[in-house]
């Protein structure tokens, strides 16, 4: 694959083949991230379409001097997912209980426990532990200092630990 700067210059110039190649490379992981952030398959598809359409129409938002293209893309996705959640207004208490992303699709105990974290903590843990983003990349994605990334990660891990230890009987606690 071309280096990021060359690829992005092609995309900014309207090269649809370059954009398509970039989309095909990034979309599968983006879909997984959004599935964990949103938990609603239709919302995932809608938000993905919004993200990539917005980027295609306005690619100048990426500044290669500020960070990696991947970090920027995840930052855009995080903001779009947060915006989607802000627009949701469940009124039925049962609907509110089921609004925790990932709950309906949780296929493992850990996914269910992660689903109990606020979306900001869940996305931060996902980006760090699953996507392997560095602290510097997370700082770029979130537009915060690295020290704040570290403290938020600590808080997210502590919240997950509390949820883990307060899980109901029958949940295997020996998976630490």
How many angstroms separate the Cα of 103 from the Cα of each of 27, 48, 100, 117?
A: 22, 20, 6, 11
Instruction: Please tell me the distance from the alpha carbon of residue 90 to that of residue 88, in angstroms, as a whole number.
Output: 6
**pLDDT tens for residues 99-157?**
545 444 433 566 677 778 887 888 888 888 877 788 888 888 788 898 999 999 999 88
Inter-axis angle of helices 41-57 and 69-87, to 10 degrees?
A: 130
- Asked if residue 69 has pLDDT above 70, the reply is yes
The answer to whether residues 160 and 174 touch, using CB atoms and an 8 Å cutoff, is no
45 or 142: which carries more pLDDT confidence?
Answer: 45
Domain 4-165 has CATH 3.40.50.720: no
Q: What average pLDDT does the segment 163-171 reach?
A: 68
Among residues 105, 18, 115, 93, the alpha carbon closest in space to that of 59 is found at 18
How many angstroms separate the Cα of 44 from the Cα of each of 8, 20, 28, 34, 80?
A: 25, 19, 12, 6, 10
The answer to whether residues 35 and 103 touch, using CB atoms and an 8 Å cutoff, is no
Domain extents for the chain?
4-165
- Asked if residue 51 has pLDDT above 60, the reply is yes
Tokens 């379409």 sit on residue? 49
**pLDDT tens for residues 14-40?**
999 999 999 999 999 899 888 888 888
> What predicted TM-score, i.e. pTM, was given to this entire model?
0.57
Tokens 């020996």 sit on residue? 174
Q: Phi and psi for 57 in degrees, rounded to 5?
A: -75, -30
């Amino acid at each position: 694959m071309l280096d990021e700067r060359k690829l992005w210059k092609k995309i900014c110039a309207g090269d649809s083949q370059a954009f398509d190649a970039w989309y095909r490379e990034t979309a599968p992981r983006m879909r997984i991230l959004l599935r964990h952030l949103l938990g609603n398959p239709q919302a995932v598809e809608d938000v993905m379409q919004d993200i990539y359409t917005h980027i295609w129409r306005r690619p100048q938002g990426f500044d290669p001097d500020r960070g990696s293209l991947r970090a920027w893309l995840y930052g855009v996705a995080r903001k779009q997912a947060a915006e989607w959640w802000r627009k949701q207004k469940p009124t039925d208490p049962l609907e509110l209980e089921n609004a925790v992303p990932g709950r309906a699709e949780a296929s493992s105990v850990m996914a269910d426990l992660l689903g109990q974290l606020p979306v900001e903590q869940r996305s931060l843990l996902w980006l760090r532990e699953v996507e392997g983003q560095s602290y510097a990349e997370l700082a770029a994605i979130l537009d915060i200092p690295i020290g704040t990334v570290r403290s938020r990660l600590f808080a997210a891990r502590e919240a997950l630990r509390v949820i883990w230890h307060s899980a109901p009987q029958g949940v295997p606690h020996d998976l630490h």
